[in-house]
Structure 1
Amino acid sequence: MTEDRCLKCGQETEDSNHVFQRCPIAKEVCGQLNYSWVFNNINLDLWSWLTWVFREGTTEQCRGFCYGLWILWTSRNKFLYEGKISTSRDISKQIKSYILEMEGIRERELTLVTNTKTNQRLQRENTTIFFDAAFDSQHNRSAIGLVVKEQDGKIVAAKSILHENVASPFAAEAYAGYQATMLGIQLGYLNVDILGDSKIVTSKCQSENRDRSEIGAIISDIQGLKCFFQKIRFSFIPRTRNIEAHRIARETLKKGEELYLEGENSRALCEEQEPTCLGYSEQRERR
C-alpha cells in the first residue's frame, strides 16, 4: 500500500530501520556531516546497530549522532503533520547549528561551575525564577523571558535570550526552562522554584526519568544541572500569573534585542510594562 511508503523517498515501507538506516535522505545527511561510517553495519537490526555505533564512535561522534537522529525524526514529523519539506542539506545544516549551540552551552557551563563554587549567595528561602517563550513559526526562532523574584516578591533580575533554528514552540519552552536553570546557577542560588506556563515542559523538567520526546536532549541537560542546587523544583503556573516573563519574551522577539538587568533596573523594566498580575509570592499568600 502506497500510504505505508516512506514519506521522504517513497521507495520502501516506512519503519524505524528505514527512516534511520536505509532512507537515501538519512544517508545524504550523514554523508554531509562526515558520518557515513555509521552505515558500515546496516545489516544489523536497529537496536544492535545503535549499540554498535555507540561502541565504535567517540563521545563527540555519539553526541552528534543522537542530535542527528532526533532532528531526522523531527523533520519527518514536520512533513507529516505540517507539510514542511526539508532537504538533506536543510537537515544537515540544522544539525550543525544545534551541535554548535549545545557545545557553546557546555563551555558556558564549565565557566559557571568554576564561578559558582566560589561565589554562592547565602540564602534562607527559595528564590523564584519565572520563564516563558515566544515563538516565530515563520523564521523558526524564539525569544525567552526570565524574571527572578526573591521570597518577598521583589524582582531582582530580568533577562531575555534569542534562539535561532528552534524546531517548535514545545522546544522553545524547553529552552526557556534550561535558561532559567542556568540563570539560577549564574546568580549563585542554592534553592530555587522555577515556574513556567507549559504544563508538559515543567512536568518533564521536574521528572528524573529519561525523556524520549523531541525535547529529550534539552530535558537531559536540565536534569544534569540539578546537582548545582541544594533544592530545585519546577512547577506549572497559569499564563495569567506569568505575565512579566511572557511580555519580556514577546517584546524581545519583536525587537530582536536581548537584555539583562539586575536590581532597580529590572524592577523598572517590569513596571514599564502594562499593568501585570500580582507576583507569585503575593498570590500564594492571598489564596
Structure 2
Amino acid sequence: MRVNLSLRKITRNILCPRCGGREETMNHLFRECPVSQSVWRELSNPIFTMFPEAEFIEWLTKVLALLPLEKCRIYCGTLWAIWGDKSSRIHNKQGKSSQEIVNFVHEYLKELDGIKT
C-alpha cells in the first residue's frame, strides 16, 4: 500500500492509483475506493459488503467465516482482481471497469474449474 511505502520513504505519492481521491490503505483499496465499491455491488452479494466499520483484516476474516466455499472463491478471486487492477494501473497505465473486473473473476474461476482433474 502506498501509505506504507511512504512511511518507508519509497514514495511520496500516497493517493490511490484507482480513484486518486484518498490515501491508499488496505481498507481504501479493497473496500472504500469507489472503483472497488462498484465491483462489490456488481457481484450482488450482500455478505461481501457486511461489517462496514471493520478494519480490512477483521472484515476479511468475518466474511470468509460466513461464506460457503463457492462464494469464498468469488470473494478471494475478487480481492486478487482488485489488487491486479491496481497494479495494472500503476505499471501499465491501464485499468478495467468494475464490470470487466467482475467478468474477469467469473471467467477465471470457470477456467480453474475446467482444469480440475
Scaled by the length of structure 2, the TM-score of the pair is 0.82
Partner Cα separation in structure 2 for residue 11 and residue 37 of structure 1? 26
Do residues 20 (structure 1) and 30 (structure 2) align? Answer: yes
Q: 1:49 to 1:41 in 2, by over 3 A?
A: same
| Bigger-Rg structure (1/2) | 1
CA–CA distance in structure 1, aligned partners of residues 35 and 56 of structure 2: 17
Deviation at 1:13, TM superposition (A): 0.7
What root-mean-square deviation, in Å, do the aligned CA atoms of Structure 1 and Structure 2 show? 1.5
Distance apart, 1:28 and its partner CA? 1.0
- For 2:110 and 2:75, how far apart are their aligned partners in 1? 14
The aligned residue for residue 74 of structure 1 is 84
Specify the alignment match of 2:63 in structure 1.
53
TM-score (norm 1): 0.35
**Which segments of 5 or more consecutive residues in structure 1 lack a partner in the other structure?**
110-287
Q: As a proportion of its length, which structure holds more strand?
A: 1
Find the residue that maps to 1:95 and give its secondary structure: helix
SS at match of 2:89: helix
- Corresponding pairs, count: 106
**Higher relative contact order (CA closer than 8 Å, sequence separation 6+):** 2
Partner secondary structure for residue 62 of structure 1 = helix
Q: Secondary structure at the match of 2:94?
A: coil
What is the match of residue 87 of structure 1?
A: 97
Ranges in structure 2 where 5+ consecutive residues have no aligned partner: 1-11
Q: Distance in 2 between matches of 1:20 and 1:5?
A: 14
Amino acid of the structure 1 residue aligned with 2:13: E
Letter in 1 for 2:33: C
The residue number in structure 1 matching 2:20 is 10
1:96 aligns with 2:106: yes
Q: 1:35 to 1:11 in 2, by over 3 A?
A: farther
Residue identity over aligned pairs, in percent, reads 26
SS at match of 2:115: helix
Runs of 4+ in 1 over 4 A off after TM superposition: none
- Larger helix percent: 2
